[in-house]
Amino acid sequence: MDKAGFPKAGSPLFRLARRTAFFTLAAWVLALAGGSLATPCLAAGKAPAFLQTELMPVADPVLRGELAAVSTDFAGAVTDKTLARFGRKHARRRTDLLAAPPQEYRDHIRADALARLLGAGMDPALGQYFVYADRNPATQMLFLAYYDATHRRVILLGTDFISSGKLRPGDDSFLTPLGAFEHLPDNWGYRAEGTKNAKGWRGLGARGSRVWDFGYQQAPRQFRQGVYDSQMRLLMHATDPDNGEPRLGGPDSKGCVRVSAAANAFLDRRAILDRHYEKIAAAEKDHDMWLLRTDRSPVAHPGSFLVVGDSAILSAARAEPQTAPTPQ
């Protein structure tokens, strides 16, 4: 406690405050180890309403406790900030979906995420965190998620807005490609310099913001003759804090996945997509891992995948009438 900033001496009232803080922290740690969702996980915020349903299949109390803590941390550090910025009711943003995504929507996101991860060759025996981006123009949602290898199930932990690609005739723009894309050391990321372009935008966010690089991908691009697949460099990054953040929640990028500064900092601080990078840092002590934050606190099972889906396509597929079989 002394190292945490508490003085070694003080008034009786101050010593009482120290003891209260100590026992409160101890009670929280014990409750977390038991996986209780009734106990506040972090001072940062309140767990999302859907979390208890998402965690029902998780039997391991240690994993359950960590997922609850990470989810609560994300809610306070990211989702609550976005809701405060836009307001609970917004004419052009689905803040209702952000605050409380319904069961049916979550079911489809989980199923789509699992199919894309397995299709991309993810090891089904390896539990890990990942990020899901729904490029549906009507939703534009980011989900912080975890793949539970024991039950082969996706667990959704938190939400935020993104901006995915928007086709602009005459401009170098793409639709964000669909699929599961792995964050590999072969495509070493970098950090934003925070410099402004000719329009006054810090295109990759404030200085020091993380840029995750998923390599070259094929994606629909607008040409004079129409829309055809072409090659693009897929990144996930922050956007201009002043001009870009108010536009999150609607398609706006040139093909990459734009996230809020808060989401960028959270994913970076908790090493959500740094599984391969953390392995290098642990195995090669002399390797200069300048990309990783020195003050990071990695989750227990960092992952490496960005999954991009489109709930509008899922909805259209569900709405298609079933063709009756031809009588024999």
pLDDT tens for 30-85 read 344 443 333 333 345 689 999 999 999 999 999 999 999 999 999 999 999 999 99
Whether the pLDDT of residue 259 is over 80: the answer is yes
Place of tokens 């029902």: 56
Average pLDDT over residues 119-124: 97
pLDDT score at 92: 75
pLDDT band at 12 (very low <50, low <70, confident <90, very high): very low
At CA 96, angle to CA 90 and CA 100, rounded to 5? Answer: 155
68 within 8 A of 41, measured Cβ to Cβ: yes
Pairing of the two strands 210-223 and 190-191: antiparallel
At 229 the three-state DSSP class reads strand
Element (H, E) at 148: strand 141-148
At 275 the three-state DSSP class reads helix
Closest CA to 36 of 75, 62, 57: 62
| DSSP-based helix, strand, coil % in the chain, nearest 5 | 35, 20, 45
Least confident of 48-57, 187-196, 224-233, 315-324: 315-324
pLDDT score at 73: 97
pLDDT tens for 127-154 read 999 999 999 999 999 999 999 999 999 9
pLDDT band at 320 (very low <50, low <70, confident <90, very high): low
pTM equals: 0.83
Instruction: Give the count of beta carbons closer than 10 Å to the beta carbon of residue 295.
Output: 6
pLDDT score at 79: 96
CA distance 130 to 116: 12
pLDDT score at 319: 59
Cα distances (angstroms) measured from residue 44 to each of 47, 99, 128, 251: 10, 16, 23, 29
Instruction: Name the amino acid, one letter, at 293.
Output: R
pLDDT score at 217: 97
Task: Please give the mean pLDDT across all residues of the chain.
Answer: 85
pLDDT score at 213: 98
pLDDT score at 45: 67
Cα distances (angstroms) measured from residue 257 to each of 40, 97, 131, 262: 32, 19, 11, 14
CA distance 172 to 211: 20
pLDDT band at 171 (very low <50, low <70, confident <90, very high): confident
CA 146 to chain centre: 10
Residue of 201 and 39 predicted with greater confidence = 201
Place of tokens 């609550």: 80
Residue of 2 and 184 predicted with greater confidence = 184
pLDDT band at 318 (very low <50, low <70, confident <90, very high): low
Element (H, E) at 223: strand 210-223
